[in-house]
Amino acid sequence: MTTDPVAKQPTTTVPTATVPRATEPTATEPSGRHTRGALSFGAEVRRQLGRRRTLWSFVIMLALPVILIGAFALGRTSGPPGGSRLSDLAQQGSANFAIFALAAASDFLLVVLAALFAGDAVPAEASWSTLRYLLIAPVPRARLLASKWAVAIVSLGVAIVVYLGWGLLVGGLAYGWAPFTNPAGGVLGWGELLPRLAIAAAYLFVTLLQVAGIAFVLGVRTDAPLGAVGVAVLVAIVSSILGQIDSLGDLRNGLPLHYIRAWQDLLTPQVDWTAMGHGVLWSVLYTLLTVGLAFAVFRRKDVLS
C-alpha cells in the first residue's frame, strides 16, 4: 500500500505582510493645506515686510524728500529762485517739490528698489535654507514663483505711490500748496495735475518692471541676493551710459530704461504720448522675456538649499 507523499508533508503557515494603514499627515509632514498657506499672497507679503532690507529701503526712500528740503535750506540764496530746471523751482510749492523729488529718485533710487524687491525674493529663501522645504509638498514651482513675483511688483507699486504722496505732503508743509509751475512756462492746476501724476506713477511702475524682471531672472539662478540685485542695477547703469552715446543712433531706443524720463512729457500743456508709448512697449517686451525665462529656468533648477 503506497501513501501519498504530498499528504504527509507538514503544513507551514506563511505570515502575511502587514499593510500599514494610511495616516493623516502629522505636524512635521507637509500637507497641501499647510503649503497653500505658506505660499499664499498674504504669507509672501509678511515675508517681504519681515526682511530688514525692505524696511530699510522704505526708511531711506521716505528720508530722501526730507534730505532734499534740508539741502535747499542749507543752500538757500538771496533773491527769488528762477531757472529752467525742475530743481530751480522746487521750492515754489508742493507740486513742484514732489515732481522734482520724483525725478531725482526715478533715475537711481527707484531702480535699486525694483531690483531689490524682485532680485531678493527667491535667493533670500535659498540663503535661509527654506526654499527646498517650500518645494517638498506637491505644489507646482510655477505657483511659488508667481507668488514671489506678484509680491515683488506690488511692493514696487506701493513704494512709488507712497513716495509720491509723501513728497506732496512734505513739500506742502515746507513750501505751501501752490500748483505746478512749469520751468518752460505755464501753470497746471491741481485738478489737471493730479491725474497726470497718477499716470506718471503708473508709467514709472511699468518702466521699472524691466529692472525687476532682470533681477528676478538672475535671482532664480543664484543663492546670493545681493548678486542678483547688484547685477540688475549694473545693467541699468550701463544702459544709461550707452544711451548717451549719439553714434549708436536709434539702437539706443532698445536699451533698458531708455524712456524712463518720458513721464516728464506729462508736465507740458499739450502732452506728447509718443515717447511714453515706446517706453511701455519696450518695458512689456523686456518684462515678458525675463520673467518667462525665470519660470523656464526655475522649473528645471536643482534646488539644494
pLDDT at 201 over 80: yes
Q: Specify whether the CB–CB gap between 121 and 131 falls below 8 A.
A: no
> What proportion of the chain, given as a percentage, has pLDDT over 90?
54
Predicted pLDDT at 79: 43
Query: By three-state DSSP, how is residue 226 classified?
Result: helix
- In the predicted model, is pLDDT for residue 4 greater than 50? no
Is the separation of the CB atoms in 209 and 114 below 8 Å? yes
Q: Which residue type occupies 140?
A: P
Amino acid letter at 5?
A: P
Q: Is the pTM of this model over 0.85?
A: no
pLDDT digits (tens, 9 = 90+) for 19-56: 444 333 333 334 444 445 445 667 777 777 777 888 89
Closest by CA to 207, choosing from 279, 139, 151, 121, is 279
Average pLDDT of the segment spanning 82-96: 83
Secondary structure of residue 50 in the 3-state scheme: coil
Written as nine digits, the cell of 7 is 499528504
For the stretch 96-118, pLDDT in tens is: 999 999 999 998 999 999 999 99
* Inter-CA distances, 202 with 98, 151, 257, 286, 289, Å: 16, 17, 15, 17, 21
Query: Mean per-residue pLDDT for 138-144?
Result: 69
What local confidence, expressed as pLDDT, does residue 136 receive? 52
